[in-house]
Amino acid sequence: MSDQSLRKAIIATCRAMNASRLNTGTSGNVSARTETGFLVTPSGIPYDDLTPEQIVGMDLDGTYEGDWLPSSEWRMHLDIYRARPEAGAIVHVHSSHAAALSCLRLDIPPFHYMIAVAGGPTLRCADYATFGTAELSRNMIAGLQGRSACLLANHGQIAFGATLTKALWLAGEVEELCHQFFLATQMAATMGKPLVILDEPEMARVMEKFTTYGKQPRDFAPGEHAAFDVSVKKV
């Protein structure tokens, strides 16, 4: 993808995350990796007003180019790209249920098997630190160990993927899981029943199946097989 196309794709992702109510206003930020660093949204510009020229190019040493300041959360993007070579794009949002649950500063347990979508048997909540600081970024990297998404205490959530589409999709999955967890805990309290948590053996099975989750035959490496039956013939 060309530089100009990637800038346009970042803007489209920002507008999509607000249109889907994963985010509101100018909060949140989006980035995508380039050959020499990454492109990230600028600080304080409404997404509907963004132009490709306002997307900020940054190197992996933290320097940036152009007349526009990068997002105040550029450190989180920088540190993910440094630490996680598989990250091609990052979406950070203040989605309602993820932000609300982040204020409890608790890891979300495996109440639903889809928790594994973030890469592990829990959805972690990274320790709190002031926004835009190196400390927050360090806490986030710890929260993302073995994961591709986490909550940020008293803040929101962050997710990454190979592409902008996958990063945005994962952020949506995280928000939906947080919404479901909120509803499940409310219902458990109302009905006087315990919330049932999936045990470690079951989550191990789920994690194994998730190694091929969402793949089509063209996506498998030589010798790799799906963790489900693909023997049904197309008719």
Annotated active-site positions, please? 73
The candidate with the shortest Cα–Cα distance to 140, out of 207, 180, 92, 205, is 92
Pairing of strands 56-59, 89-93: unpaired
Q: Which residues contact 33 (CB under 8 A, 6 or more apart)?
A: 81, 87, 88, 89
Locate 54 and state its tokens. Answer: 């306002």
Distance separating alpha carbons of residues 24 and 17, to the nearest angstrom: 8
Q: 184 with 109: CB under 8 angstroms?
A: no
